[in-house]
Chains A and B, each alone.
Chain A
Amino acid sequence: MSTIVIDTQGSGDEGREALEAAAIASLELDHEFVVVGHEEEITAALDGIAHDAERMRVVHAESRVERGADMRATISALPRSSIAAGLDCVARTPDAAFVSGGPPGAIVYRAVRALQRIPSISRAALAAVYPTLQHRGPNDDPFALLLDVGATAQCASDHLVTFAAMGAAYAGKISAVERPRVALLSNGPDPHTAPLAVRDADRRLRAAALAFDYIGTIRGDQVMVGEADVIVTDGFTGDVLVRTLEGVAATGEELLRRAQQRYRWRLGMSMLGEGINRLREFTNWENYGGAPLLGVRHPVIITQADSGRRAFLNAIRLAAKMLRLEVIDAVTDGVAALREFESGARGLAELAEVTEVNEPAAPIQDGAEPPAIESGDQSERSQEVDST
C-alpha cells in the first residue's frame, strides 16, 4: 500500500478543505494517508468528518510557511513547517507522494533537498495541466501539459531538452498517449527568431531519436488548440502564460456575472445555461487537481492556495495515479534514454571528427552554442526560484 502525504497547513482556510479531501480519499482510495499539520486542530476537525482512521495517520507540524513571505523568512520557517515534515515523511517512505497547497517556491526548494533529483536531471520542473480543444489518447483526455511554470525561472537549453523528455514521459503515462507530441514555446514556428536556449534546444530535439514526436516551436495562441500534448518553456515564461490563461478565464467569469445583472442578458444566458456551464467546467482549474513537480524522486503535487475540497481531492487522485502508473520511473527512463542517445551521438561525432580530419568542419551559426550535455555545464546560468 503506497502512501500519500497531505499538507493541511498549506491551504488558506486553516486546512479544512485539504483535510476534507483527505478524509474522502481515505474512504475512496486504497492508500495510506498521512495528514501533516497542527495535530490537535486536525483531530478536532476530523471529529465531524467521516473518514477511515485505519488509513489515516497524523504527523504534527508546529508551524506553516506563509504565502507571500520573503525567501529569507520562508527558509527560516521551513525546518519546523508542515512542508518540511511532510517531505521528510515522503523521503523516508519508499512508495510515497506529497500534496500541498503551500507556496510553490518553498515546496520546490525543500523537495529538491529532501527528496533529491532524479539522476541526470539538473533542474526540476513544475508542470501545469490545462484544457485544450483537441483531445488526446485512448481516454480522450482533454488536458495538455505545460512545463515549466515556475520551478526554474531561467533555463538553459539542456534544461528545456530534459523538460521535454520528462513531460513526454509523464503524458505518455497519465494520458496514455503512445508518442506524445512535444513542442517548445516560442514566438513562431521559425526557431531562428527564438532566444538562444530555445534555438539550441530545438536543434538538439530535432537531432535526437526520441520516444516522443517533437513538432517544433509553437506560438502562445496555439497553446489552447491542443496541437501539442506537451509544451516546454522556461519557468518564468510558463508562469506568466499560466497566470494569463487563468486571468482570461476569471475575466470571462466576471463578464458572465456582470451580464446577469441585466434582465435581457440574463434571459439569454438562461437559454445558454447548459453551454455556459460546460464552458465553466472547461475552464475551472479545480478540475485539474494540481501541478506535478517533475524531476524529483517522488511525486509532488502543488495545488493553488485557495483550492477547494474538489481541487485537493483531484490532486490526491493525481498523486495516486502517478504512484500506480509508476510515472517517476517512466520519467527517469525517458531522461536516461535521451542522455544515452546524446552521449552516443556525441561519441559518434567525436569519432567522425577523428576519422575525417581532412574534411573542413561545418561553419557554426552566429550566436550558436555547443550542446551542453552535462547538467552542471550551465548551472550557473539558471536557478530554481520561487515563482511567487
Chain B
Amino acid sequence: MSRKGESPRDKARARRRERLARRVRNPARGPARRRDGDAKDGGEDAPEDSPEETALVEAAPVEVAKPARLLHLRWDLDKTYLRTEFDTLRDLYRTFMQKAEDKVAIAGARVLLKELMDPHDGIPRRVTFISGSPSQMRRTLTRKLQLDGIVPDVFILKPNLSNLLRGRFRALRGQVGYKLKALLHSHMAAVEVDEYLFGDDAEQDAFIYSLYADILAGRVDATAMVAILNACKVYRRDTDEIMALHGSLYASGEVVRRIFIHLEARSPLGRFRPYGGRVVPVYNYFQAAMLLLDAAVLRVGAVWEVIAAMEATGYTPARFANSLQELLRRGVLAPIAADRAIEELAAEGARRGRDVDRFTRRLRTVTADLRSQPRPPPPWETEVNYLGLYHAARFRRQRYRLLGTGIRILD
C-alpha cells in the first residue's frame, strides 16, 4: 500500500490510521474494558498507542452484540452536567482540587440522565461522557458520577498533560479535534440508533455535535471536512485520524435526533439558529424533559421527577411556566403538544398526591398569554456553513477579548 517517496513517519501514520479504521469497523478487536469506563490498559494495540490515543481507546466500544435498536446518550460534563467554573486560572485550579463530594450537578441534570437511562420501552441505553476535563481528574469525576448513581458506559477525558508535554498547545484549548475524534470513536453501530447529545454554550459543543451528526448523515464530505479541520487548526495527526473515521462512518444514517445545548452562559438563541432545528438550546433541563416527553423518549413520570429535583434547588412554578412559554414562542414545542403535556402532568401529579393546581394553572396562563397563532418549528434540515460559523465564533471571541468583559447581551 505504500507509495514511493513516503517517509517512515508517513508510513507509521498510515499504519496507525488503518489500525484505527479496523478498530472502528470491528469494535470487538478493541482492548478489554471494564463496564464503568475506568479502563484497564491492555489489548493488542495498547503498547503502541500514544497517550492521546490511549485516552480515546478507553472510549472504544464495549464488546456487545450489534443491537437491533439503541438509544445512545452523549453528555458533556462541565457546565452541561456539572456546575463548573473555569473562566479564570483560579477557577480551573479550584475545580481541579475539588473533591467529588463537593461537585454539584446542574439542577435536574442527574435525574434527567437517570430517567433517560431507564429502558422503560425495552430499547437498550448507552451513556457516553466526553469531557474537556484533564484525564487526571478521572478518579474524582468517576466518583462523583457514582455518588449520583450514574455509571457511564464510556467516559472520555482530555489528555491535557500529554498535550502539554508534547508541546501541543493548540490542543489544550481547542475542542474540535479532540471531541470530534472522541465522538466518532465512540459511535456505536446498531441496526437503528437514536442519539441524543447534550452540551453547553461555553465551548463549541453545538458546532462539534452538528458536524458529527452531519458526517453520519453524509452531508459533510471529505473535501469539506478537511477544509473545516484546517480552519479549526486541528493538528495534522488528529486530522488524519478523524479523516480515517470519517471514511468509515460517512453516511451511516440520520442517527442524531436532537442536540440539547444547555445555555449556561445565557448566549443569545440566534447564535444556534444556523445549525437548524436539530440543535435546541435550553435554559434548563425542564425544557429538555418536555421536548423528550413530546418525542416519547421520556415518560410523564420522569418529567415529574425532573420537576421535583429542580424544585428542590429553588425553581418556582413561575420559572417552569416561563420556560414552557419560551419553547412555545420558539416553535420547538407545538401548542397542542404543550396542552397535552400539561394534561398528562396534571393527571400524573394528582396520581402522586401532589397539589398541582397552582402549577398547571400557571402553565396554562403563560400559554394563554401568547398570540393564538401557529408558528412553524425551526427548519430541521439545514445546510450548515461550518466554516462561516467557525470564523464567526472566532471573531466573536476575539472581539470580547479586546473589548473586555461585561454582559454579552448582543451578538
Give A residues with C-beta under 8 Å from B: 1, 20, 23-24, 27-28, 32, 38-40, 43, 46-60
What separation, in Å, do the CA atoms of A27 and B410 have in the docked complex?
A: 13
State whether B273 touches A50 (Cβ < 8 A): no
Name 24 A/B residue pairs within 8 A (Cβ), A-sorted: A20-B410, A23-B409, A24-B409, A27-B409, A39-B371, A40-B375, A48-B268, A49-B409, A50-B265, A50-B268, A50-B407, A50-B408, A51-B268, A52-B266, A52-B283, A53-B323, A54-B283, A54-B284, A54-B319, A57-B321, A57-B325, A58-B329, A60-B369, A60-B371
How many whole Å from B125's CB to the nearest CB in chain A?
Answer: 28
Residues of B close to A27: CB separation below 8 A: 266, 407, 409
B47 within 8 A of A: no
The listed residue (A1, A39, A47) touching B269 by CB distance below 8 A is A47
Nearest-neighbour CB distance to chain A for B202, whole angstroms, equals: 13
Question: Can you name the residue of chain B whose Cβ is closest to the Cβ of A36?
Answer: B369
Q: Decide if B409 touches A55 in the complex (CB within 8 Å).
A: no
List residues of chain B with CB within 8 A of the CB of A54.
283-284, 319, 322-323
Nearest-CB distance from A47 to chain B (Å)?
Answer: 4
Q: Which residues of chain A are near B325, meaning CB under 8 Å? A: 57-58
Complex formed: what's the CA distance from A23 to B325 in Å? 16
Smallest CB separation, A323 vs chain B (Å): 15
CA distance A27 to B264 in the complex (A): 12
Q: Is B255 an interface residue (CB 8 A)?
A: no
* B165 in contact (CB, < 8 A): no
A32-B318 in contact given A27-B266, A48-B410, A50-B410 (Cβ < 8 Å): yes
Q: How far is the CA of A23 from the CA of B322 in the complex (A)?
A: 14
Q: Does B366 contact A (CB under 8 A)?
A: yes
**Shortest Cβ distance from A6 into chain B, in angstroms?**
14
Given contact pairs A27-B266, A47-B269, enumerate 5 new A-B contacts (beta carbons under 8 Å). A40-B371, A40-B375, A43-B329, A50-B408, A51-B409
* Shortest CB distance A42–B (Å): 8
Interface residues of B in 330-373 (CB under 8 A from A): 330, 366, 369-371, 373
A43→B318 contact, CB < 8 A? no
Per-residue interface assignment for chain B, residues 213 to 248, with 1 indicating a CB less than 8 Å from any chain A CB and 0 otherwise:
000000000000000000000000000000000000
Closest Cβ neighbor of B201 among chain A residues: A50
Question: Is B316's beta carbon under 8 Å from chain A?
Answer: yes
Residues of A within 8 A of B318 (CB): 1, 32, 57
Q: Which are the 6 A-B pairs with shortest beta-carbon distances?
A: A53-B326, A47-B270, A60-B371, A43-B329, A48-B270, A54-B319
Q: Is the CB of B409 within 8 A of A57?
A: no
Minimum C-beta distance from A362 to chain B (A)? 60
Contacts of B369 in A (CB 8 A): 39, 57-60
Q: A53-B323, A58-B325 are in contact. Are A43 and B330 (CB under 8 A)?
A: yes
- Complex CA gap A46/B273 in Å reads 13
Chain A residues with CB under 8 Å of B371's CB are 38-40, 60
By the criterion CB–CB under 8 Å, are B268 and A47 in contact? yes
Q: Which residues of A contact B267 (CB under 8 A)?
A: 50
Query: For the complex, what is the distance from the CA of A43 to the CA of B373, rounded to whole Å?
Result: 13
Mark interface residues in B368-411 (1 if CB within 8 Å of A CB, else 0). Answer: 01110101000000000000000000000000000000011111
Chain A: which residue is nearest B265 at the CB level? A50
CB neighbors of A among B174-191 (8 A) = none
Please name the residue on chain B nearest to A32 by beta carbon.
B318
Residues in chain A near residue B266, CB distance under 8 A: 27, 50-52
Distance A56 CA – B329 CA, assembled complex (angstroms): 12
Contact residues in A for B370 (Cβ distance below 8 Å): 39, 58, 60
CB neighbours of A59 from chain B (8 A) = 369
Across the interface, name the chain A residue whose C-beta is closest to B411.
A48
Docked complex Cα distance between A51 and B322 (Å): 12
Q: Which A residue's beta carbon lies closest to that of B327? A: A53
**Is A32 touching B411 in the complex (CB atoms < 8 A)?**
no
Q: Give the residue among B269, B321, B373 with the most A Cβ atoms within 10 A.
A: B269
Interface residues of B in 110-161 (CB under 8 A from A): none
Whether B322 contacts A53 by the Cβ 8 Å rule is yes
In Å, the complex CA distance between A60 and B373 comes to 11
A50 to B272: give the CA distance in the assembly, Å: 12
Q: Which residues of B contact A28 (CB under 8 A)?
A: 407
Report B-chain residues with C-beta under 8 Å of the C-beta of A46. Answer: 269
Smallest beta-carbon distance B43→chain A, Å: 47
Whose C-beta in chain B lies nearest to the C-beta of A40?
A: B371
Contacts of B330 in A (CB 8 A): 43
A383 to B370, CA, bound (A): 37
Interface centre among B266, B373, B410 (most CB of A within 10 A): B266
Complex alpha-carbon distance, A24 and B410, angstroms: 10
B322 close to A57 (CB less than 8 A): yes
A27 to B321, CA, bound (A): 18
- The distance in angstroms between the C-alpha atoms of A274 and B325, with both chains bound, is 48
- Find chain B residues with CB under 8 A from A38 CB: 371
Complex Cα distance A24/B322, Å?
17
Residues of A within 8 A of B411 (CB): 48
User: Hey, which chain B residues are within 8 Å of A49, CB to CB?
Assistant: 268, 409-410
Whole-angstrom distance between the alpha carbons of A157 and B322 in the complex? 47
Instruction: Determine the distance from Cα of A20 to Cα of B407 in the docked complex, in whole angstroms.
Output: 12
Chain B residue contacts of A20, Cβ below 8 A: 409-410
What residues on B are CB-neighbors of A23 within 8 Å?
409
CA distance A52 to B407 in the complex (A): 12
Shortest beta-carbon distance from B46 to chain A in Å:
46
Question: What are the residues of chain A within 8 A of B273 when measuring CB–CB?
Answer: 47
CB proximity of B316 to chain A, nearest CB, Å = 6
Neighbouring B residues of A56 by C-beta, 8 Å: 322, 326
Q: Are A50 and B409 in contact (CB under 8 A)?
A: yes
B395 to chain A, nearest CB (A): 16
Residue of A nearest to B331 (CB): A43
B326: chain A residues at CB < 8 Å are 53, 56
Q: Please give, as numbers and ranges, the residues of chain B lying within 8 Å of A53 by CB-CB distance.
A: 283, 322-323, 326
Smallest CB-CB separation from B284: which chain A residue? A54
Q: Tell me the complex Cα distance, A43–B326, Å.
A: 9
* Contact digits for B281-322, partner A, Cβ 8 Å, 1 yes 0 no: 001100000000000000000000000000000001011011
Alpha-carbon separation in the docked complex, A28 to B267 (Å): 14
Contact indicator B329/A39 (Cβ below 8 Å): yes
Q: How far apart are the CA atoms of A99 and B326 in the complex, in Å?
A: 22
CA distance A285 to B138 in the complex (A): 56
**Which residues of the other chain, B, contact A57 by a CB distance below 8 angstroms?**
318, 321-322, 325, 366, 369
For A52, list chain B residues within 8 Å (CB).
266, 283
Give A34's nearest chain B residue, CB to CB. Answer: B369
Please name the residue on chain A nearest to B325 by beta carbon. A57
* C-alpha spacing A1/B273, complex, angstroms: 32
A250 to chain B, nearest CB (A): 28
Closest Cβ of chain B: how far from A267's Cβ, in Å?
A: 30
A23 vs B266: C-alpha distance when bound (angstroms):
11
Shortest distance between the CB of A92 and any CB in chain B (Å): 10
What is the chain B residue whose CB lies nearest that of A47?
B270
- The CA-CA distance from A229 to B284 in the complex, in Å, is 46
CB distance from B403 to the nearest CB of A (A): 15
B329 contacts across to A, CB distance below 8 A = 39, 43, 58
